[in-house]
């Protein structure tokens, strides 16, 4: 057993681990990364963000092609299979792995492959892929181990008709029907993907509305358009048991329903990757979902051991994890950091159409008794959307009725995750620079989707008493 000492060891090479490692390396610290898989990138690159968004992009392009009157004049509709659209995702994953690997090489950050377990508060025993154990020590550690799909013990995930969101990427055919259990971000995105491929989709939601953290109007719009595309949404349902068979799988609900389909995709919750790491002996006790508790500076019960990303729970976004990693790196070096770095983040949900938001919702502002007004721009009225044929959706601006300060930006429709950043940039400005008047007094290129900000701002300004 050999041993090496580092200033900081980062456990996990997903967005959180990468953000921390790069920040520390640029700060002149001796850093090492531990990754239990054979390639870097974490769940984001291999099973989550990258593959699902690549799948969604290709399906959306196919839908756009099939609904275009111009292309209908020259050719028949295209019908792509799930494995076909998945192959493009695999190419993107390979490109991402090569890129991310080069970051560590260029910054002299060694990457150790294997499973890490704490021997004591400053020592890791790393079991490599060859079975050899390497002992590493460090002054600081960062838990960036990510999460995996939650698999309840009474559901047989070894059955060929039962999948979680990792396993679905190995599906070798296009099913005729699918039941998706869980209507959170993952379930909603895959409902869009499979429906776009022509698959009959039953989306089972354990709550009374979809994506309740969103602005209500945006959540309602998503539900409406999923139904319009043919997705059957069942709210307020919880499973009783799953009965897989040779020809189909049946989901039985507590309300007595029996939902039959070719395959079942379980997309209800995730579990932090903290098992068998020896954390409990250090006084770091993961909760029932494998997540560790951290303070406002992302420190665990051991101040020199930090946690970032999915392993600490919400918001469970790749973008948030990366910024949290950078925050922690800065905190380790300097002992403090600008708190906004890790908290002023937008939400992006890649359904078809996509959703993105930043700031407060109407419900939050109403509960806080903040006097606000609303400005809308509907995509059907924008020339650029009419040209592209992407007329579903809207931009919604929430602003203070007295000061005109921007309070929330919510977008539903094509390119929503790009459009929201214009509003985010103005919301981040200090003092009076954060104002609805920026959009009213700024000239936007025409025709563009960005023009929606001027339209929404004028719409809202005209509502002021």
* HSE value, Cβ hemisphere, 13 Å, CA-based, for 369: 0
CA distances from 297 to 21, 59, 341, 375 (A): 17, 40, 11, 36
Distance, in Å, from the CA atom of 181 to the CA atom of 365, rounded to the nearest integer, reads 32
pLDDT at 338: 65
pLDDT band at 74 (very low <50, low <70, confident <90, very high): confident
Assess whether the previous peptide bond of 315 is cis (omega < 30° from 0): yes
Give the least confident one: 69-73, 197-201, 273-277, 326-330.
69-73
Let me know: does 296 contact 339? Beta carbons within 8 Å: yes
- Is the pLDDT at 120 greater than 90? The verdict is yes
Find the mean pLDDT for residues 302-316. 94
For residue 18 the two structure tokens come to 């990468």
Tell me the mean pLDDT in the region 203-229.
94
> Beta strands 393-400 and 372-378: pairing type?
antiparallel
Q: What's the confidence (pLDDT) of residue 51?
A: 86
- pLDDT for 11 beyond 90: yes
Residue 166, pLDDT > 90, answer: yes
- Judge whether 53 and 178 are in contact, CB under 8 Å: no
C-alpha to C-alpha distance for 424 and 359, rounded to whole angstroms: 8
* pLDDT for position 87: 85
Mean pLDDT across the stretch 437-461?
97
Rounded CA-CA distance 293/359 in Å is 24
Q: What are the pLDDT digits (tens) for 396-447? A: 999 999 999 999 999 999 999 999 999 999 999 989 999 999 999 999 999 9
Sign of the CA dihedral running 302, 307, 313, 314:
positive
- What three-state secondary structure class fits 376? strand
pLDDT at 69: 75
Each residue's pLDDT tens digit, 88-115: 888 888 999 899 999 999 999 999 999 9
Entry pTM: 0.91
Compute the distance between CA of residue 383 and CA of residue 213 in angstroms, rounded to an integer.
Answer: 31
**Averaged confidence pLDDT in the chain:** 92
Residue 459 confidence (pLDDT) above 70: yes
Please list the residues that pair with 41 across neighbouring strands.
none
Share of the chain above pLDDT 70, in %: 97
The string of DSSP letters for 217-279 reads HHHHHHHHHHHHTT-EEE-S--EEEEEE-SS-EEEEETTS-EEEESEEEE-S-EEES-TTSS-
Tokens of 440: 């009213």
38 pLDDT higher than 90 = no
**Token output for 279:** 């954390």
- Domains of the chain and any CATH numbers: 3-149+271-342 (3.50.50.60), 162-268 (3.50.50.60), 353-461 (3.30.390.30)
């Amino acid at each position: 057993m050999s041993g090496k000492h580092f200033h900081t060891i980062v456990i996990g090479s997903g967005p959180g681990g990468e953000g921390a490692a790069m920040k520390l390396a640029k700060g002149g610290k001796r850093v090492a990364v531990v990754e239990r898989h054979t390639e870097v990138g974490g769940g984001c690159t291999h099973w989550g963000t990258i593959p699902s968004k690549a799948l969604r992009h290709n399906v959306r392009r196919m839908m756009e092609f099939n609904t275009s009157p111009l292309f209908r004049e020259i050719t028949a509709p295209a019908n792509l299979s799930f494995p076909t659209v998945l192959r493009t995702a695999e190419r993107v994953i390979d490109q991402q792995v090569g890129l991310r690997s080069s970051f560590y090489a260029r910054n002299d950050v060694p990457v150790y492959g294997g499973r890490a377990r704490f021997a004591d508060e400053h020592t890791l025993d790393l079991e490599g892929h060859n079975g050899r154990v390497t002992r590493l020590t460090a002054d600081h550690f960062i838990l960036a181990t990510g999460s995996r799909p939650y698999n309840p013990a009474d559901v047989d995930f070894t059955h060929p008709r039962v999948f979680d969101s990792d396993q679905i990427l190995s599906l070798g055919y296009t099913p005729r029907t699918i039941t998706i259990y869980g209507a959170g971000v993952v379930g909603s995105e895959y409902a869009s993907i499979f429906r776009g491929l022509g698959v009959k989709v039953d989306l089972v939601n354990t709550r009374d509305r979809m994506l309740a953290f969103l602005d209500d109007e945006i959540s309602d719009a998503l539900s409406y358009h999923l139904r319009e595309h043919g997705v059957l949404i069942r709210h307020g349902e919880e499973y009783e048991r799953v009965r897989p068979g040779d020809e189909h799988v049946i989901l039985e609900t507590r309300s007595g329903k029996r939902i039959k389909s070719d395959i079942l995709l379980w997309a209800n919750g995730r579990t932090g990757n903290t098992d068998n790491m020896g954390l409990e002996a250090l006084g770091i006790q993961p909760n029932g979902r494998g997540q560790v508790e951290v303070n406002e500076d992302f420190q665990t019960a051991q101040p020199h051991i930090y946690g970032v990303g999915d392993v600490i729970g919400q918001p469970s976004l790749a973008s948030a994890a990366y910024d949290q990693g950078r925050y922690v790196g800065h905190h380790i070096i300097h002992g403090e950091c600008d708190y906004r770095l890790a908290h002023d983040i937008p939400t992006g949900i890649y359904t078809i159409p996509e959703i993105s938001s930043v700031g407060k919702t109407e419900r939050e502002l109403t509960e806080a008794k903040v006097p606000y007004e609303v400005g809308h721009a509907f995509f059907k009225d924008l020339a650029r959307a009419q040209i592209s044929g992407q007329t579903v959706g809207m931009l919604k601006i929430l602003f203070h009725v007295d000061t005109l300060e921007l309070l929330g930006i919510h977008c539903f429709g094509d390119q929503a995750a790009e459009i929201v950043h214009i509003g985010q940039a103005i919301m981040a400005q200090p003092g009076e620079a954060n104002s609805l008047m920026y959009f009213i007094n700024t000239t936007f290129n025409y025709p563009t989707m960005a023009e929606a900000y001027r339209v929404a701002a004028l719409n809202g300004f005209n509502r002021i008493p």
